[in-house]
Amino acid sequence: MEVRTVLCVAEKPSIAKAIANHLGDQVTTVSTDARNPPVELMDVQHNIQGNPYVKNYEFDYTFPQWGHCSVTMTSVLGHLLSHEFEPRYKSWTSCDPSALFDARIEVFVGSNRKPIADNIKRHARRADVLYIWTDCDREGEHIGTEIRSVAAQSNQALGRAGGTVRAHFSNIERAHIIHAAHHPTDLDEGQADAVASRIELDLRVGASFTRHLTLSLCPVLQRGNLSEASQLISYGSCQFPTLGFIVERYLRVRNFIPEPFWSIKLMHRKAGTRVNFSWARKHLFDRMIVVILYEWCLTSQNAQVQKVKTTPTSKWKPLPLTTLELQKCGSRFLGMDSQKVLQLAEKLYQKGWISYPRTETDQFDQGTDLRGLIQKQAQGGRWADYATALVEGGFSWPRNGRNNDKAHPPIHPVNFVNPTTLSHEEQRVHEFVVRRFLACCSKDAQGSKTDISILYGPETFNVSGLVILERNYLDVYVYDRWDNQELPPFIEGEVFEPTEAILSEGKTSPPGYLTEPDLLALMNANGIGTDATMADHIVTIIDRQYVEARAQPRQARHGNDEEESEELPAQARVGNGRRGRTAVARRRGGRNSGAGRGGAITGVREFIPTTLGVALVEGHENMGFETNLTKPFLRKEMELKMNAICDGQTTKARVVNETIEQYRGVYARMQQHPGVLCTAVRKYVFGKVN
């Protein structure tokens, strides 16, 4: 087939512009508006008629596979097609909500996308090849098929085999784009079908249960004089399980009953250093037994060193950066919510500074020129000297994680940018990406660990010390901490009288409310959403007023099975072998008392469900069947089926039919318990038990 004209379509205008700049020597910005003539070299930019963002760029380019061609580069703005039920189902009272499981869905170009579709069809008429430059992920593959279907309306040849190809790229650096242009591949129909099935299922299931829940609860919510927005109970197969995680943790916190425990603390001062030994038993819940053991220790008076062992130890450098890890670290270290971090990373990608930020891969291919990428970061920035040192001999190949999506490498910088040209928030995300990448290419931190065990009466106590010998990656990755914990010298068999022995009391503490990093990890482990959409689901349940987000107090100590114990009063302490009366002192303040006394606030968010959120989850729980809508099982199974479509193990039609039948069964079981949700709403939202 002779190819003379190529139509290239990117997913975003910024990507189209970058690709056109790399491929075209004399790029012309073309306007479809006759009042605005073409201007070369993009000194002035003209838009397509009807849309202020999408532009057309025309240039000549010589493709190895086709020869010299005339190229038009344009873009879409994400998805080109919309999906809605046919008009007769528009009214919420037009049918039982379950009818939407089977209702006909219309696929069309929405009015806001019509100028973009018309632009593609206009240029497709004279194109010999349609070259897709959408993002290389499932969503991008599906958008590519949407573009192909629109282009084929004016040029059927583009819909046939060989008429449409796609570029594989993970960043917009010049050499990478040229390589992609020279190696076209086919669209991945399996990935596109997976997204198509997800779109259809989300529409059918979401609309059916949203209408059912809203219509069922509307009489109750209306009596509460709630806002109209609060009366809409929006359901999503990812939103509800996410809400379920938050409510489950909230109820564990609220229903937690603290239990007292007792322990023995031992301190010895040697060579001017306080050495705090930990009891080998940690703690016991029987006070009398602890008191007896404590008395035996005091009776012995002296302690003897049983073991001194010094071994080399390492702190591993971090794994290459994935989307999920970027979001979690953005919350922990940068104080940004996961959606904001991903948006900023997307901007950095579109500007050409980092690789594609939506990836599950945490291992670099062996052929990647990592030293070349490091060398670019030696041009400036606070990490320039460190990058130079890596190039000159400190380089170590990154660790391999367990994940490889076969589409994109880990997130990494691809070009040097002067940080002053970025916004403040962009600088922070960019700095994290660069430091993480340099840390991955560094050596592990090295240290020497000393473990000491002593026998005091019948009881064993332990202490560990650390001396850092080589900081290595820690010098650039400022987000990790590994501190020296030097111990004075001890030798095996040494006998000494402990400076202080203390009987202490504590109590078990509840887990903390779910933080954003922990919630993301739970969603990922249970297949709720993708790395690129999990943040959106969190935002949705906040917008729906199912949960609230708040900054976590820095002093909160959650996630452990115990609180830090309180020492008993001075009368219970023993110094240099002198013993006194024992007594009990209870910890003052509740679990949030630190914040009440001015405890600092971190940037990490924690989530608290609203009364409506709790009511929705408890109502579904009270229906008594395991696969209710707030559990992750149905959505996780759906995601596994999406993967099976991608792998060619099943088909879109089969997955849609099987999944619809599962949700139809849930719908039928919900109808057998019509008053359970209403009872839960009255209980939590309005405080009425009956």
Contact 124, 130 (CB under 8 A): yes
Length of the chain, in residues: 690
Q: What is the DSSP string of 662-680?
A: HHHHHHHHHHT-TTHHHHH
To which H or E segment does residue 535 belong? Answer: helix 534-543
3-state secondary structure of 57: strand
Which residue type occupies 10?
A
User: What spatial distance separates the first Cα and last Cα of the chain, rounded to whole Å?
Assistant: 76
**Choice among 356, 456, 473, 663 that is catalytic:** 356
Q: Rounded CA gap, 542 and 598, in Å?
A: 27
Which residue has 């062996």 as its token pair?
366
Those residues with Cβ within 8 angstroms of residue 549's Cβ, 6 or more apart along the chain or in another chain? 337, 516, 542, 605, 606, 607, 608
Q: Rounded CA gap, 237 and 247, in Å?
A: 16
Q: What is the DSSP string of 116-169?
A: HHHHHHHHHTT-SEEEEE--SSHHHHHHHHHHHHHHHTT-GGGGSTTTEEE---
Q: Is 349 a catalytic residue?
A: no
**Beta partners for residue 267, in sequence order:** 276, 500
Torsion, Cα 317 322 325 326, to 10 degrees, reads 100
To which H or E segment does residue 197 belong? Answer: helix 189-223
For residue 625, what are the CA distances in angstroms to 185, 620, 630?
47, 8, 11
3-state secondary structure of 453: strand
In terms of Cα–Cα distance, which of 73, 56, 54, 55 is closest to 6?
A: 73
Number of H helices, E strands in the chain: 19, 20
Torsion, Cα 680 685 686 690, to 10 degrees, reads 10
Q: Rounded CA gap, 74 and 47, in Å?
A: 10
Q: Rounded CA gap, 76 and 142, in Å?
A: 13
Give, to the nearest 10 degrees, the angle between helix 611-621 and helix 239-254.
100
To which H or E segment does residue 553 belong? Answer: strand 547-553
Active site residues: 356
